Amino acid sequence: MKSAWLLVMGLAAAALSTSARAQDLDYNTIEIKTDQLAPNLYMLSGSAGLDPSHEDAAGGRIGVLVGPDGILMVDAQYAQLTDKVVAAIRRISAAPIRFLVNTHIHRDHTAGNANFARMGAVIFAREELREGMLGAAPLTNGNPAPAGDPARLPVVTYGMGPPVTIHLDGETVDLIPVRAAHTGGDTMIRFEHANAVMIGDFYRNYGYPFIDIANGGSLKGMLEALDATMKIADADTKLVPGHGTLINRTDLIPYRDMIVAIQGSVQQLIAQGKSLPDVLAAKVTAPFDAKVPGGLLPAGAGTSADRFVTEVYQQLKGGGQ
Ligand SMILES: [Zn+2]
């Protein structure tokens, strides 16, 4: 009993320290940078070096499709940045913000949802994402899920069927469901004419991959998502991760190979009967550490390398689902 209680206390202390860290984020100093991806498609990113969870750019990246029919946004950033995001959008277009699509549930992508819904945006997302928002708030990146404002919830939801297609501003936008990868409710958003895909967080080039198992993510799904992305992308397709730099199809190959290699190393150690601490001590990411910026920086309880290896270990021990 006593040890269980100590564990609960320890978890509560860990939750407090991570939420305190999230509050340390000074939203006032964050600026929103705008980059044009195509004639009518833009991406908005937060300042670098201010968000301890995302050193490369504060919060999650936003996509903005503009044109005479109105605006479609991908993801909604931290709620505290909504005014700055709206100001950045208004420098591009005065049209109404009609649609908002969430790539996944994490608060750096959804916490602003309610603000944009109140401006009239209709929110689209996976059923799993909506259910996740309605359920008990799991810790994501050590932070609680967005608070309970009903306006934050997706209005139009979809499952793992064919893509949902939105025809807007002369563009064809496909909301492509991804089987449990970074989370259990991931969506890729493809802009067919712009030849760009906002892929969310199942790929990242700052820190090691993050499989949010508590929110339904899976190792197998992450590999499948990379394969699915390779199928829809050609050599010129701009692939836009939720964080980090823009990539193209060829960048996915070494990333996938790295995941498969680490998976193989962890599997081998499990076969030798090694425990999780043993597997972490074996530093199986060492061959990749020099090539993964931020890979050895803190993420959750340890480094992002430790977090990823722990996730791979848990997935392989649990049958890889
Ligand atoms: Zn995420």
Residues 88-102 have pLDDT tens digits of: 999 999 999 999 999
Looking at the predicted structure, is the pLDDT value of residue 20 above 50? no
To 10 degrees, what angle do helices 249-271 and 304-317 make? Answer: 60
CA 76 to chain centre: 12
Could you tell me what percent of the chain has a pLDDT over 70?
88
C-beta separation of 71 from 96 below 8 A = yes
Could you read off the pLDDT of 289-309 as tens digits, one per residue?
A: 999 999 998 887 789 999 999
The alpha carbon of 60 and the centre of ligand 1 are apart by a number of angstroms equal to 8
- The per-residue pLDDT for 144 is 55
The alpha carbon of 272 and the centre of ligand 1 are apart by a number of angstroms equal to 33
Q: Vertex 296, ends 290 and 299: CA angle to 5°? A: 145
C-beta separation of 75 from 121 below 8 A = no
3-class secondary-structure state, position 212: coil
Looking at the predicted structure, is the pLDDT value of residue 65 above 90? yes
2 to each of 10, 16, 252, 272, 316, how far by Cα in Å?
Answer: 12, 21, 47, 33, 31
User: Would you give the DSSP letter of residue 71?
Assistant: E
Q: Mean pLDDT, to the nearest integer, of 9-14?
A: 40
Q: Which two tokens stand for residue 108?
A: 């750096």
Looking at the predicted structure, is the pLDDT value of residue 320 above 50? no
Beta bridge partners of 188: 176
- The per-residue pLDDT for 2 is 39
- The per-residue pLDDT for 8 is 41
The alpha carbon of 271 and the centre of ligand 1 are apart by a number of angstroms equal to 31
Q: Which amino acid is at 26?
A: D
The alpha carbon of 215 and the centre of ligand 1 are apart by a number of angstroms equal to 10
Which of the four pLDDT bands, split at 50, 70 and 90, describes residue 141?
low
Task: Using alpha carbons, select from 181, 140, 190, 134 the residue that is nearest to residue 157.
Answer: 134
CA distance 315 to 217: 10
C-beta separation of 266 from 284 below 8 A = yes
**154 Cβ contact list (under 8 Å, min separation 6):** 102, 123, 124, 125, 126, 129, 130, 133
Which of the four pLDDT bands, split at 50, 70 and 90, describes residue 140?
low
**Higher pLDDT pick, 182 / 141:** 182
CA distance 196 to 72: 14
The alpha carbon of 250 and the centre of ligand 1 are apart by a number of angstroms equal to 22
The alpha carbon of 242 and the centre of ligand 1 are apart by a number of angstroms equal to 7
Q: Which two tokens stand for residue 250?
A: 């060829």
The alpha carbon of 133 and the centre of ligand 1 are apart by a number of angstroms equal to 14
Looking at the predicted structure, is the pLDDT value of residue 19 above 90? no
